[in-house]
Amino acid sequence: MHGNGISQDVVHDLIFISVNGFSEVWVVDHSTSTEEAKINAGGNYNKGGDLLYRCGNPSAYENPQGDRLFFKNHCPNLLKNNVPGAGDFMIFNNGVRIKQSKVYEFKMPETFNLQPNTNNEPDIVWSFTDPELFYPSISGVVRLKNGNTLICKGGYGFWEVTSDGEVVRKYKGDNVSFRRGYAYRVDSPEIVNLGL
């Protein structure tokens, strides 16, 4: 399955898992105990260890409805309260089969209720791609406090993109593979504690 990223929704006590092998994101109930998971009942959503939701590739669970959006994916990212789009979900779609990467921001459903023969995919709030944006592995995406989006293109470096899709900054590393990146202010504790 190659799970390659995880993000927690502390408000709803959920875990989002990027499952690269299936080109999907799975959502599970973090409140479920080991015993409840064994009987497929219990937890806040009364589904035990069963998947509450999955998205990105309806064909992975033989659903004929909904468009396939992911062709390998990385870095599930729930947007925190200190950035625009708080509560939304972002992911980097590597686009391996189509040789074109794309970043998505989704509004997740209010209720997780997977139905057969129904389009269960989340609503796309924002997306970005560019003819030069393709990397077949690793990579990631985060929302910055200024509303821009920081894209990590694995074997290249970083792009900063506005909500209008304007690339305002690029950084190319030398012979380095980047898995993902995060932005910190120079006066943030994470940087100050380095003693640079």
Distance in angstroms (rounded) separating the CA atoms of residues 74 and 5 = 6
Could you give the CA distance from residue 76 to residue 141 in angstroms, rounded to a whole number?
8
β partners of residue 157? 153, 172
C-alpha 192/C-alpha 196 separation (Å) is 7
* pLDDT classification of 1: cutoffs 50, 70, 90: confident
The CATH architecture to which 3-192 belongs is Beta Barrel (2.40)
Tokens standing for residue 59: 């064909």
Q: Which of 165, 150, 156 is nearest to 138 (CA)?
A: 156
For the segment 112-147, what is each residue's pLDDT rounded down to a tens digit? 989 999 999 999 999 999 999 999 999 999 999 999
pLDDT in tens, 57-86: 999 999 999 999 999 999 999 999 889 999
pLDDT per residue as tens digits for the range 148-160: 999 999 989 999 9
Residue 178 pLDDT exceeds 80: yes
Catalogue the E-assigned strands of the chain.
3-9, 14-19, 24-29, 53-55, 73-78, 89-93, 102-107, 123-128, 140-143, 149-153, 157-161, 167-172
- φ, ψ at 151 (rounded to 5°): -105, 130
